[in-house]
Structure 1
């Protein structure tokens, strides 16, 4: 059960850590808010974690759905009382934030049950997910749909469908759009916000989906957050001029993106510690490079986000690769990673001539990517 226990810890503390960090570091938060989050962290560590462990993980089998729902409702009462006892001195904005976090915790508790009950068929998992949202009142009580809450809801839905989170899959949208209108708003809004966060679709695709959402729910309280999320993607529109990032090459020289403005760039963000990155280099990249070798106006650009340059250089010393090799460093804190909303690697992008963005979620090395790159030569 160690793996499951570790997952439990990660799930229960992931967003708590984010919020607590904000409360400590942001001057805009009141002392009451900082105290609230500190007390909440203590409650999760000293009380909630043990209760959830005993119900889900310290047993040979997952509890019956009804038993778990009863358990969660008791936890919900505790969380609501915690809020009532400590929220009086919070500002309106702070109360909205901690309420959203309260909802996020409840969603995560539902996902934990799905994670523990892997033997359940998808149909049964979806029925539990639907019932869970209804009986915890999450389906209709969420007024402020934050990024973290939307992501948690989508993680839970992916789990219910047994679909890997972060990978585009039509079964998620199919499920949402088959729901009656009165049950669709929360999941659809979460789907759109998660698309913005994960950049799983293009700006134009998300914009079109948001238009449909507004047409269906013109009075939805979720619209403002979705509009703000879409606005944050303006620089990622197809055809947008990409910021002129600067990196170091293997010789330590500065290289700018604009140095290749007369080229079509297939940009590969990777790191030496990334297993899928290395596996792709070994299995797909050689044929990919070979197929594009004759096209001088197509450049394969590999940008490492290793924390230190030595692992990057050592890998390339032992594994010769064609293309342009550059170093950004800083892992997911690298400016280019934040610019393109990169949450996982490898990540591929296509930047056209003039350094204009073509595809923020390009295909992996293979026939589809080759075709797209070659077709761009005639534009």
Structure 2
């Protein structure tokens, strides 16, 4: 049942993301493209979902990898035929985007199989993924990476290696380095782009990764996507002046980052509904605060992204903490969350004096964070 729900969620997220994009940028899309995607959505909901459920979930055991790949190749034929029948009036960039959307769906189908076939050992799972990309010709067809496509490829890679997605793990990069040819190139580019999307490291880390990729794959068609990704991260270079975000404090007064430009800020993005955030407050934060109590030029700033102020205030009323408490609201749609590419909380940042970015992905409260803060203030 959980896997069925996962399939529904994957397709829902895919289409919600797409149609949110269409709504926001409606002026950039033709009516033909909107109709095309509506037709594809109808196919997924009324045809594909039932077929996938029958093959993967309405059976006691997962099908063999050969049978599932054969099944997906039939689905691929249907999607290709849909494209031939409906893409004639699309502009060239819309055709490319439609193809990327189809590629993303096919990659997600492969990831669903890996999720269903939990009994498979990692070695066999990796073999399946390589064969899947080869048999569906995705490793040849994918010439340009969208954010969703790169993320889906990395979700599949994580699933193949039974590593939770979103958890930093060098094993993924090491495994990708062992894969040659088009697949190695595709997965390496996807890994770099996904790291940029999730801000797994610093701007400098991404810059070095793109540089290494360009040396290994000089003529790669994915270089354009990676360079675009780097441009989107330029504001997060170490030493860049952070935008002067405004919040509301517990008294309802306006609070700006620039109010603390003469201090080093340890910025903690959290919400009252976030279990790991609350657990850190209870287990790590008290000692962390004590270690920094004598450092008057270091301020601990806790910014809540709760949708409403009441839960934020109620939590702090019952669990008072030192430091500066501010409210941003809007969850992951908050401007500061988008600015720092925050995909999960808690998230910690260190902003140096004069509001210059020191670390966009700082250590969680503890000795390592204390050391980083002291370094940020020049000690």
Q: TM-score, normalised by structure 1?
A: 0.97
Distance 1:177 1:67 in 2: 29
Distance 2:28 2:341 in 1: 25
Distance 1:122 1:250 in 2: 50
**Alpha-carbon distance, 1:20 to partner:** 2.7
The reply on whether 1:154 has 2:154 as its aligned counterpart is yes
Deviations 1:1-50 (A, max 9, x none): 1x222111011222222223333451221111111111111110001001
The reply on whether 1:199 has 2:199 as its aligned counterpart is yes
Spell out the pairing of 1:1-379 with structure 2 (5 A cutoff): 1=1, 3-25=2-24, 26-378=26-378
Distance 1:102 1:376 in 2: 46
**Alpha-carbon distance, 1:245 to partner:** 0.8
**Alpha-carbon distance, 1:218 to partner:** 1.9
Distance 1:98 1:271 in 2: 36
Distance 2:18 2:88 in 1: 19
- Contact 1:23–1:33 (CA under 8 A) maintained in structure 2: no
- In angstroms, what is the RMSD of aligned CA positions? 1.2
- Contact 1:158–1:172 (CA under 8 A) maintained in structure 2: yes
Distance 2:145 2:298 in 1: 42
**Alpha-carbon distance, 1:285 to partner:** 1.0
Distance 1:312 1:10 in 2: 29
SS at match of 2:269: strand
**Alpha-carbon distance, 1:376 to partner:** 2.6
SS at match of 1:233: helix
In structure 1, stretches of 5+ residues that fail to align are: none
Deviations 1:81-121 (A, max 9, x none): 11111111101000000000110000000000011111211
Distance 2:140 2:171 in 1: 23
Distance 1:17 1:135 in 2: 29
Deviations 1:286-309 (A, max 9, x none): 111111111111111100001111
Distance 2:260 2:37 in 1: 48
